[in-house]
Structures are given as C-alpha cells and as structure tokens.
Structure 1
Amino acid sequence: MTDPLERFRLDYAPLFLRHLSQRDESGLQAAYELGRRAMEESVGLLDVVRVHNDLFLDVLATVRDVDEVPALAEAAATLLIDLIASFEVAQRGFLDARRDARPR
C-alpha cells in the first residue's frame, strides 16, 4: 500500500506534465479534484506545494530554450492554483464556522 503523499506524487506527475503540454480546462479540473482528494487523505498543503515545486524544477532542468520558461511557469502556476483551491475552500469554511460559533 502506497502512503497518501507518495500516491499524490504518482498521480500529480503525469497530470502536471500533461498540463504543461496541453493547458486545457480538463487538466485544471483534474488538479482541483486531486487537491480535494489529497486534502481528504490528510496530505498537507506544504507537501502538495513541495511536490509541485519539485516537479517544476525537474521540468526546468530539461528546458532547451529559455524563451519557453515564462509560458511553462505560467502554466505551472495556473495548475498549482487550481490544485490548492480546495484547501482554500476548506479553510474559508473552517474560519466561517469558527466565526459563527463565537458568542455574540
């Protein structure tokens, strides 16, 4: 049995690489769903960002044309935002519930 972080890494790598080449909405939706699953499996936000960063650095090491870097960085950042959006939604829900639970 693979631990949740390693499973996340194995699921995210092909999604990340596919998104860098195709940059479509289905990749962004898949990233959001993967982020939700990671959160449900208690993979921390810092671990998610670390995996993303490691993959991005691996890709950058293979770039032959530096003119490609800005577009790759933009695509990677867009994917990361969708990936961690579920963490943001959960945090806002938690903060709203906490605020609503305070005595008035």
Structure 2
Amino acid sequence: MRAAMIEVTVSEARDNLADLLGKVQHGHEDVTIKKHGKAVAVMISVEAMEYYERLEDAELARLGDQAWAEYQANPAERISHEALWAEIEADLKPE
C-alpha cells in the first residue's frame, strides 16, 4: 500500500529533488508538485508507472474485445472502409 502523497511547490521540489526522489524510489511515496497552488506534476516510482501502464493496457484490451463483440453481433451496422472515410472527411470539413 502506498503512503499518502507529499505535496510541494515547484521551488521546494527544486531545492529538495534528491530527497524527494529518494522518498519516491525507496519510501514508496508519491509527490505532487504545485505551481501557484495548482497541481502541475506528480512524481511516482517506476514500479507504480509500470503498474498503471499494465492497467491501461488491460482496459484497452477489454475495450477492444467489447468493440469486436459488438461488431460481430451487428453485421447490419457495418460500413465499408470507403464509406467510413467519407463520413470522417465530411465531419472534418469546415461549415
């Protein structure tokens, strides 16, 4: 389980970068960096990033499987490649 997120300003992050990196890497803490009171960046460990990428990959695979199942279940709604591009081009034309 990850610890609570640390919040620092850009100046604090700059002044304490080595310490913050150590907390992220070894202390398993996340760091939110704020500028003018607004969160602008987050520092997370490589392990956390890899975990989030696996979650995203799994979600994309699930959505792809769902789209394929819908495509297979509704053959009457299929359109040709040319018709699809015509629709896209029509949507992109300025009015």
Same fold by TM-score, threshold 0.5 exceeded? no
TM-score by length of 1: 0.32
Q: Which has the higher helix share?
A: 1
TM-score by length of 2: 0.34
**Which of these two proteins has the greater Rg computed from alpha carbons?**
2
* Greater relative contact order (Cα < 8 A, sep 6+): 1
Q: Which has the higher strand share?
A: 2
